[in-house]
Structure 1
């Protein structure tokens, strides 16, 4: 008589409270916030970490309260506190205060909106008079008709370090990161099933923060958002006299709201990544496929920047010394998407950060965590709801 041993069946499925797809800054902070709430959390990433294929890589980003809209300035109040909290928890420096110089035509609507928002919200701000400008900001030519102010709370975030830090803190809290796992299928339901190239995972809730690949992932759950992916040329320009625009010499980050060379914003950060080079970029780019971004070779933004730098930054060589790339995932109104799926309330979406989302990572993570747990969000999310696009689509019919 044969004795048959009853071996337990091996399950290829792993169960979690929440799965987060996309380990950029927004997904990593969401996973970290969930782990702080003692939720068993899985963070999935399609590429091997760390990588430079998305929108969260690079050494620096600007952090600021200078915005046209009150709701961003209000969110940044708490965001600064959350960044400082992460610094304390990990004992790592993630932020350097430099101030943000904002320049723009006196009558330009965007410049006036920023100025009014800062003053209305009592953000420490210095208005620079034209006659005193060069004393405070050497090596910069203020354009005729331009005004200037400084958001003194602003500065530089150390982006790569921040991303590594929040992922490390997530893992210390028991969170699981699985990289090199591209999502191949999602089955909605009371328990969501996520299939990847390497496994099958289940969770009570799902958060999608897939950056430029958001619509690719959302196609598995029957949703497409009006997102445009653009490739940005990240340009570094050489100082003629080393130290002229260095952070140690207290040169600020800057934002040129409008100028004769450009309709969109131009922004810059003091020398940091590469000694003797400062980052100056145009805040828009050419549409691209995120999987084919290196084939995009448009240089019109670089030519625009060369003309601007030759005119306004006489201490820089008007030819980029280094050109890297990054991707923006842009919504029609350039505001974020922070919302639940219209059909499946346990699937939450963070997308369309439009090239200005990195600094909001801690607060976006908190909000997406709240949405995934069915809690009332800490802020009014009406500017970020999916229905704003649906309403416009119906109006156009």
Structure 2
């Protein structure tokens, strides 16, 4: 395969060389001729522009031929390495050689080609059918023009009875026109006929004539009444009256109700937004400072020995309200479980973390001023570990709830077994 491809390239190259030599000879002959013609035409006018133009065209053709030969050599050198050489059918080659045109033009041309093929096939079929016939009549030009006219008319979508009616109408109009022309040309006297004779000629019956008379009398009376009586001009009625007036009124009422409800809801939301208190940074700072002061006062009340530190053992909850104890219960229980000792700053910091999770009511209860630590009148107070007592009560409550739940489970199991 490679040897054959190499031989083909050699033969093609030799063919190209021979072709180029032939072109060069033709160019030399043309140059010689042009030079001889130039020498002859020196005596007359010399057109150097035309000569230069021809030389430029020749050089351009030579360049194009060289470029085409180089392209073919490159393709052949590349195809030497290729073993697979598919065969291209004629249709694909035609599609490849087709000039790049818009899709619309290509489809139009394709439709024309198909139409021509169909017509050729029909003509061929007619010729075959005519060959089998022995009688071949000759048609004159008038008959062929009539056939062509009928073909054109058949192309227009007109029913057969409609075309017949049109032909008859045209003929009748022509006859009527001929009659009128003949009557006017031959008969110059045209007498006037009265109304009664005209009615008799028309052939109206007695009943028809009586109805016509009544109709005319009514028209006469109505015109007289309209002229004598006053009729005011009123506005015109609507061109398109709604289908159902009650449905439209019901829809309008619903739309009004929806609009009113929307206005009321908007006004309520506006009032609610106006009533909401939007705390600024300064107000938040003041509230935070008040909470810190309140926690500091609580620490002073809890610290009985005034050493600046508290723990679960050395703590006095007797001066605190029950609500404050309930709010700070998680902090106290954590102190007792971990046996922590907190200073004033640590107590405030840990209590502030707890305050962030409280509700507004609990914060308000916490901000209330606690009872003062020192009093002018010395009194004896029996100190009771309220915190331990409070924890014991809570533990008792949890135990009761656990016992009740356990008893309920037992009773439910017994009930299920009995059932």
TM over 0.5: no
Q: What TM-score comes out, normalization by structure 2 length?
A: 0.14
Between Structure 1 and Structure 2, the one with more strand by share is: 1
Q: Higher helix fraction: Structure 1 or Structure 2? A: 2
Structure with max Cα Rg: 2
Alignment TM-score, normalising by the size of structure 1 = 0.14
| Structure with bigger RCO (C-alpha 8 Å, 6+ apart) | 1
